[in-house]
Structure 1
């Protein structure tokens, strides 16, 4: 990720959103609020799972890792967006641009793997409940998480190194609010066909395979739930995976819409707003969805709140 001698670009200008400055100020306020809520929500989720022993289970362990990936993603993207909204344009060094892309892609890649593991966890819990504690043991969960982070690191290090080795001769302007790979490649005056082929090859294990596993897991889950005789049983079984299903749908839906469906003739601002959905919106929605739709997290929060209030009351009496 170091700057190469064959790059003539030292700084890159991010144009952000093409909107009046008064709209930018409003957008700045909303985005700053979202950023604060995202930080608090994900940090709270990690703290709650660590604090409450009833949540020391595979699903919540994966959820804390998802929150860490979301924290990494939103902290990588939002500060530069806030700067752009205040100053109409953002300036970032070439090396900083490459680093920002690396962190963004690394967190997104990790989230793909983590969501896949969570879908497998729900598959075992619903389709093979008697063997759940045996299959989804602590060692396996830890190994799966380590493998997901290592795979993300390996894939993105390889891809970023290939991108950095290209010759970049300008222009040094990106019509986006962060350094995504397609606009970075547009600045290159080298042959980018090799890098584009690498992207297609890496997308298979990073995006396609996890997506297929998620689809297969939920196909089996739905098949098993439908066979449950009682409506109460079906509702209880579905409620254990509904939060994750919503998160997966939002994540892959926005990712597919921005990166796969054609954008020809589409306003650049619309493309940027869609990009905001999975770079800013998803990290906020993940803890909200899991908190609102999960009775165990709500119960753990109630216990945590009671203990906190008791401690504050004791301190006030001293």
Structure 2
């Protein structure tokens, strides 16, 4: 889209993942230039702005309200306002709702300026020491055990390291699934990155699972890194791209299977959008269409 005359600007601002010393002068400048700051959690962003001695109106834009709020924010941008968007930590748009706003702003012809900052997944990959010539960022795995293991098996053919975000209360279950699917691979658990109690645990996947079990409850934000497949582990055609027709049929089958298993429309759309490299809203529309057809049947 061509730039709309008179439109404002959207700043997409990377913020520290733990250590406030990682905030950049350019990030602070973007917040000062903004008429309002859009954020996932106003409490988190209030603390960050207070650290920078900046006061701006805040607009909550978490994943529950972003789809409904994005058109309103685009209207403000088209009216000439300057807005900044910040996630709770790290780079917006990476496993958070920022991508929706960026997409809407660009589609409307609004200038979008990204202010780079820390990223937990890249920081963990480097800290793990696992080979990272190629890597695949998955984000959060499905919550249900069967869906989680199925997704890991789908990723088995990726010719690179795998990165996952995880919460403390689910990390043991995730490591159990990784140990079952990738028993011969190394894995690393990186937690509290850039903070006082930063820690990286690395071992063969089954051994890492036992170490975590012995430690008991662990706190903090976590990233799990799984090593790439060994040379003989990767099937020759495992990562070959299917034809458009095959991919469409496979997506339709996966939607039907997910709905039959009771997976929510939102979770199903997110998982399959990642699997098929499609926009989440496009897949979500297909899921809703499949639900309507099931209801009519």
Which TM-score band (shorter chain)?
Answer: under 0.3
Structure with more helix by fraction: 1
Relative to the length of structure 2, the TM-score reads 0.27
The structure showing larger relative contact order (alpha-carbon pairs under 8 Å, at least 6 residues apart) is 1
